[in-house]
Chains A and B, each alone.
Chain A
């Protein structure tokens, strides 16, 4: 699924509205454009006309990867944020990372990105929990229902370090790490994260421990406003489903032949942003999301 076009959302609370609106608008635009161009097409199912099948992958909508950026590469800061989604085995992340980065590079017509931030499922920074008191008590700071085990987190990081070595990614970053988790994580890394991206409802309660630790380790604390569970299964089903708001990719009933049968399992979402450095203008921003669809979808 592709979603270009930065979208303004009404509310400023943490949300995935931007992603969902962006995907939906992009899908609708493609449908509409196709309907205008060729209103008589009777091909069934209809989505075949505005999507593209390539090997095992269905591009929704179809894309031929744009024109890229309007100025030379060095004028931009390209930041990519990759969301690994909950319930997807960490073993797939190596491949997922490559897929996601490849799509972004192709879309922007560049061969490297400046910063890749990865967001692991279940890791949720909570300003109140990251206090020194908690630390003394040995309480866990970054709690989450589906917290990754530490080893798979490191395993994923090895993949990223590899891409860094190849020169594809200049800097790596993590999201939502508290100071405790950072302290546990850093000794195991060859390439240290240069960024920790945190979401703060109220900026002024950044835990001092985190500020000090980040400063000491020269990790930049950046802010974000993304939803942790950015693309839930239900939302994906609705987006692709047969309803009035859906793309009509999925079949309308278990026995209908108007779409693809089976389950939907969103795997990852990637967000990319190209900012013209010395003018602070976001020239290009968009999302890609990958979901497995079909009757033999692995959990």
Chain B
């Protein structure tokens, strides 16, 4: 999350009144910045990864694992250390391994039980840099651990398995149901106390008109009751008006029900940000990485448990989406009665005229992205989202100032949302040398790709693209592998001018598909059949930077006809194994072979290539099923635990043992048959 300024945060009705002003100023700041930065050129590839941890306290006596709300203390102690590293009064590291590396940075996150860590300075593309990523991640974990109590551990599970249960799953313990979240499962103290976070949660709830509502299908095991009625739901609470939600049917049969932002924003992700050489390259990478989002989500699947129950989904994405969904019933297209909604179940009625809102909005603020922005001849109109909602006035304003249609559409889409956290101090004067109002909207549009303009006050930073769909993995080896894989894919995209375009609605569908249990092997995903650009007629150069495809059609087919084939013929449903490793019949080359071909074209030293090979091997084997996903491993761990009764319940005992196992795995990484070998190493041959 961004910088945390302090100030007086406006509550919802007040904030909504100022929404137009913030949007307007945000757009003016964007324009000023765009004019300044659109000519930025020749920025190097710099990239960074963000790793997020749960801080889990283990009680060996009671055999319990609890989330520790110690974020503030840990960060304070980390910051003191960082300061003393800088002044050189303290050795950076006991070993010399990280000599010359900047100490890592730690950041607060939404959950008070979370930490985010980034490398001290961004990575480059010197292949030796790639070798440092994993050891740097390990270093971050060590440093974080060193600033925790002896029984606390930085755990890279996406979610805490028993967040929101009836027992004391947090320490220190606070009872649920506070004024900001109004959750019947978690206390307000679960969130970072910085005013930004409770305000964010409260204003999402207020804007929405009820609590957020997450229903995750339960995994039906042999002893799971049917229908399954979430036994943790209390229908007799009368503390807040929102306590009515469950009496109005918020909790659905056969689902695990959750009611607060913490259930989503308390998830840990693995996010990668790349700096592009200029705005054009940034826009291209944004488009080309977008179809890969759902594929990498399914590949990194690691979220099979919510609130103490095994669920029937493998990834976190939709839960975060629901946890910050501030859309009103009207925007959702649900029926709104003039009388209070508590009178009955709402039902969808999209034809009802809008009374209070400007649009019906198909997606949450946290969702797969809805725009393509590259000025690319290969971008066909048919790929664009036909349901895209934009603010026409904002688009007009952007285009008046010279912004092109595609980019103006992108921002006019992001700006259909209301700003959620507004500090009254910021509304006194518009500062065009800042980006605070722009960022207010930009950073609360949590789409799976993010296109980031350079910060106005940093001359040396260029246009950036963030890849946001991946789930955090339990070990740093895996986190390094996926980070580096994506970096290499971006290099291959630029080197081979790869074309992954499919219609945006197919990517949206893929994102849903990725949620299914074992989607990585059991489901297929829409993907472009031929990722190579057609060989362009080449009048002047026998080489040039244009590239050709190996598919025999490219070499032998008649000259391309001026009319393009139907868009539907360009893509098909593919297995992830084929997308990653190539199809058996050779019709699709596979992302790993493409990356290897790229590596064969550049000078890579033996040691680096070996490390890269081990990372690519992990991904290859995840895709072909030789190695398990984190989600499968966790499921199997639960299923084979003596305390598991085939009733979907993940007990405190199981949770404790799981956390211990994951902590051990982060150290031993499945070597020599240690815990986790099924997802890290495979059977020793």
Residues of A near any B CB (own CB < 8 A):
2-12, 17-18, 21-22, 24-26, 28-29, 32-33, 36, 61, 63-67, 70-71, 75, 77, 79, 107, 115, 195, 198, 200, 203-204, 206, 211, 220-225, 273, 275, 278-286
B601 at the A interface (CB under 8 A) = yes
- B545-574 vs A, CB cutoff 8 Å, 1 = contact: the mask equals 111111000111001000000000000000
Asked whether, in the complex, the Cβ of B125 is within 8 Å of the Cβ of A21, the reply is: no
Residue of A nearest to B276 (CB): A279
B537 at the A interface (CB under 8 A) = yes
Asked whether, in the complex, the Cβ of A220 is within 8 Å of the Cβ of B544, the reply is: no
16 of the cross-chain contacts (CB-CB < 8 Å) are: A5-B543, A5-B546, A9-B550, A10-B589, A29-B537, A29-B538, A32-B559, A33-B537, A75-B42, A107-B543, A206-B606, A206-B610, A278-B45, A279-B125, A282-B598, A285-B601
Q: How far is the CB of B399 from chain A (nearest CB, A)?
A: 30
Asked whether, in the complex, the Cβ of B600 is within 8 Å of the Cβ of A225, the reply is: yes
* B546, B555, B593: most-surrounded residue (chain A CB, <10 A): B555
Q: How far is the CA of A285 from the CA of B610 in the complex (A)?
A: 24
- B598-613 vs A, CB cutoff 8 Å, 1 = contact: the mask equals 1111111111011001
Q: How far is the CA of A281 from the CA of B545 in the complex (A)?
A: 11
Residue of B nearest to A210 (CB): B606
Q: How far is the CA of A104 from the CA of B42 in the complex (A)?
A: 25
Contacts of A64 in B (CB 8 A): 540
B589's partner among A8, A25, A107, A204 (CB-CB below 8 A) is A8
B532 at the A interface (CB under 8 A) = yes
Contacts of A32 in B (CB 8 A): 559
Residue of B nearest to A72 (CB): B42
Residue of A nearest to B554 (CB): A25
Residue of B nearest to A8 (CB): B597
- B611-644 vs A, CB cutoff 8 Å, 1 = contact: the mask equals 0010000000000000000000000000000000
Q: Given the interface contacts A10-B582, A279-B494, A280-B491, does A61 sit within 8 Å of B609 by beta carbon?
A: no
A281's partner among B491, B605, B606 (CB-CB below 8 A) is B491
B606's partner among A29, A63, A223, A225 (CB-CB below 8 A) is A223
Q: How far is the CA of A9 from the CA of B379 in the complex (A)?
A: 26
B495 at the A interface (CB under 8 A) = yes
Q: How far is the CA of A75 from the CA of B604 in the complex (A)?
A: 18
Residue of B nearest to A108 (CB): B543
B594 at the A interface (CB under 8 A) = yes
Residues of B near any A CB (own CB < 8 A):
42, 44-45, 124-125, 127, 277, 491, 494-496, 532, 535, 537-550, 554-556, 559, 582, 586, 589, 593-594, 596-607, 609-610, 613
Q: How far is the CA of A36 from the CA of B545 in the complex (A)?
A: 23
A282's partner among B45, B542, B586, B601 (CB-CB below 8 A) is B601
Asked whether, in the complex, the Cβ of A278 is within 8 Å of the Cβ of B44, the reply is: yes
Q: How far is the CA of A107 from the CA of B559 in the complex (A)?
A: 26
Asked whether, in the complex, the Cβ of A21 is within 8 Å of the Cβ of B491, the reply is: no
Q: How far is the CA of A25 from the CA of B599 in the complex (A)?
A: 22
Residue of A nearest to B593 (CB): A12
Q: How far is the CB of A37 from chain B (nearest CB, A)?
A: 9
Asked whether, in the complex, the Cβ of B605 is within 8 Å of the Cβ of A222, the reply is: yes
Q: How far is the CB of A280 from chain B (nearest CB, A)?
A: 4
Q: How far is the CA of A78 from the CA of B208 in the complex (A)?
A: 58
Contacts of A220 in B (CB 8 A): 605
Contacts of A3 in B (CB 8 A): 542
Contacts of A203 in B (CB 8 A): 606, 609-610, 613
Q: How far is the CA of A77 from the CA of B545 in the complex (A)?
A: 15
Asked whether, in the complex, the Cβ of A224 is within 8 Å of the Cβ of B548, the reply is: no
Asked whether, in the complex, the Cβ of B597 is within 8 Å of the Cβ of A273, the reply is: no
Residue of A nearest to B611 (CB): A203
Q: How far is the CB of B410 from chain A (nearest CB, A)?
A: 24
Residue of A nearest to B491 (CB): A280
Q: How far is the CB of B548 from chain A (nearest CB, A)?
A: 5
Q: How far is the CB of A226 from chain B (nearest CB, A)?
A: 8
Q: How far is the CA of A220 from the CA of B620 in the complex (A)?
A: 28
B550's partner among A21, A66, A280 (CB-CB below 8 A) is A21
Residue of B nearest to A17 (CB): B550
Q: How far is the CA of A233 from the CA of B491 in the complex (A)?
A: 35
* B45, B550, B554, B598: most-surrounded residue (chain A CB, <10 A): B550
Q: How far is the CB of B549 from chain A (nearest CB, A)?
A: 7
Q: How far is the CB of B182 from chain A (nearest CB, A)?
A: 49
Q: How far is the CA of A74 from the CA of B547 in the complex (A)?
A: 24
Asked whether, in the complex, the Cβ of B596 is within 8 Å of the Cβ of A6, the reply is: no
Contacts of B600 in A (CB 8 A): 12, 223-225
Asked whether, in the complex, the Cβ of B540 is within 8 Å of the Cβ of A282, the reply is: no
Asked whether, in the complex, the Cβ of B535 is within 8 Å of the Cβ of A61, the reply is: no
Asked whether, in the complex, the Cβ of A282 is within 8 Å of the Cβ of B602, the reply is: yes
Contacts of B599 in A (CB 8 A): 223
Q: Given the interface contacts A280-B45, A284-B544, does A33 sit within 8 Å of B538 by beta carbon?
A: yes
Contacts of A278 in B (CB 8 A): 44-45, 124-125
Q: Given the interface contacts A64-B540, A67-B544, does A10 sit within 8 Å of B605 by beta carbon?
A: no
Asked whether, in the complex, the Cβ of B606 is within 8 Å of the Cβ of A66, the reply is: no
Contacts of A28 in B (CB 8 A): 555-556
A200's partner among B42, B125, B540, B606 (CB-CB below 8 A) is B606
Q: How far is the CA of A286 from the CA of B601 in the complex (A)?
A: 10
Q: How far is the CA of A54 from the CA of B594 in the complex (A)?
A: 38
Q: How far is the CB of A116 from chain B (nearest CB, A)?
A: 12
Contacts of A224 in B (CB 8 A): 600
Q: How far is the CA of A28 from the CA of B599 in the complex (A)?
A: 27
Q: Given the interface contacts A8-B589, A8-B593, A8-B594, does A223 sit within 8 Å of B609 by beta carbon?
A: yes
For the complex of A and B, list the 4 residue pairs with the smallest distance between their C-beta atoms, beginning with the closest.
Answer: A4-B543, A66-B541, A280-B125, A278-B44
Asked whether, in the complex, the Cβ of A25 is within 8 Å of the Cβ of B603, the reply is: no
Contacts of A33 in B (CB 8 A): 537-539
Q: How far is the CA of A204 from the CA of B611 in the complex (A)?
A: 9
Residue of B nearest to A197 (CB): B603
Asked whether, in the complex, the Cβ of A12 is within 8 Å of the Cβ of B597, the reply is: yes
Contacts of B532 in A (CB 8 A): 8
Q: Given the interface contacts A32-B559, A221-B606, A278-B45, does A9 sit within 8 Å of B597 by beta carbon?
A: yes
Q: How far is the CB of B273 from chain A (nearest CB, A)?
A: 15
Q: How far is the CA of A224 from the CA of B532 in the complex (A)?
A: 23
Q: How far is the CB of A168 from chain B (nearest CB, A)?
A: 19
Asked whether, in the complex, the Cβ of A198 is within 8 Å of the Cβ of B544, the reply is: no
Asked whether, in the complex, the Cβ of B555 is within 8 Å of the Cβ of A21, the reply is: yes
A66's partner among B495, B540, B559 (CB-CB below 8 A) is B540
Q: Given the interface contacts A9-B550, A278-B125, does A66 sit within 8 Å of B605 by beta carbon?
A: no
Q: How far is the CA of A222 from the CA of B605 in the complex (A)?
A: 4
Q: Given the interface contacts A61-B542, A279-B45, does A79 sit within 8 Å of B586 by beta carbon?
A: no
Contacts of A282 in B (CB 8 A): 495, 598, 601-602
Q: Given the interface contacts A10-B550, A33-B538, A115-B603, does A66 sit within 8 Å of B594 by beta carbon?
A: no
Asked whether, in the complex, the Cβ of A4 is within 8 Å of the Cβ of B42, the reply is: no
Asked whether, in the complex, the Cβ of A66 is within 8 Å of the Cβ of B543, the reply is: yes
Q: How far is the CB of B562 from chain A (nearest CB, A)?
A: 12
Asked whether, in the complex, the Cβ of B542 is within 8 Å of the Cβ of A4, the reply is: yes
Q: How far is the CA of A25 from the CA of B552 in the complex (A)?
A: 10
Asked whether, in the complex, the Cβ of B593 is within 8 Å of the Cβ of A283, the reply is: no
Q: How far is the CA of A273 from the CA of B604 in the complex (A)?
A: 13
Asked whether, in the complex, the Cβ of A4 is within 8 Å of the Cβ of B541, the reply is: yes
Q: How far is the CB of B526 from chain A (nearest CB, A)?
A: 22
Contacts of A77 in B (CB 8 A): 603
Asked whether, in the complex, the Cβ of A8 is within 8 Å of the Cβ of B496, the reply is: yes
Residue of A nearest to B541 (CB): A66
12 A-B pairs besides A8-B550, A283-B545 with CB distance below 8 A are A8-B593, A21-B555, A28-B556, A36-B559, A61-B542, A66-B541, A200-B609, A222-B604, A223-B609, A280-B491, A281-B491, A285-B601
